[in-house]
Amino acid sequence: MVAPLPGLGRWGKSRYGCLVGILLFVAAWYYGIDVGAVYLRYWRMREEMRSVARFANRLDDATMQRRLHAKAEELDLPTQAHRFTIRRSARPREIRISTSYTEVVALPFARYTIRLNPVARAPL
């Protein structure tokens, strides 16, 4: 018969069980902050693009470019993100605004390159 180790025979008696859980949570939070910030900026830029696209029938392309460029500056996006493509199509009558850029997330043991392609469409 196997005898339980002293002090480890019941739940809650482990010395490091809670510490390991807390350490894993803190590590996920630490790494998630940097990656989450990239996607938060992406979603905010995409929302601004959708907002500009909704008012496209009242705005000219130069005004839309200025607004989008100002938002990209405010969000501190890479210079690649400041190049917007605005296309108005006749059939179907819609506007399409897009851009493409990459962001590099440097973590202590890894370096990730994330490619983002926000697109907004709206009827004219």
Break the chain into its structural domains and give their ranges: 23-123
pLDDT averaged over every residue in the chain: 87
In this predicted structure, which of 15-19, 37-41, 58-62, 84-88 has the lowest mean pLDDT?
Answer: 15-19
In the predicted model, is pLDDT for residue 68 greater than 90? yes
Helix, strand or coil for residue 91? coil
Cα 5 → chain centroid = 48
* Rounded average pLDDT over 11-24: 73
Residue 107 confidence (pLDDT): 82
pLDDT at 122 over 60: yes
Tell me the pLDDT tens digit for each residue of 31-67: 888 889 999 999 999 999 999 999 999 989 999 999 9
Cis peptide, bond prior to residue 78, ω within 30 of zero: no
Measured between alpha carbons, how far is 8 from 17 in angstroms, rounded to an integer? Answer: 11
Give 3-state DSSP helix, strand, coil % of the chain, rounded to 5: 45, 25, 30
CB 72 within 8 A of CB 28: no
Rounded CA-CA distance 74/69 in Å is 9
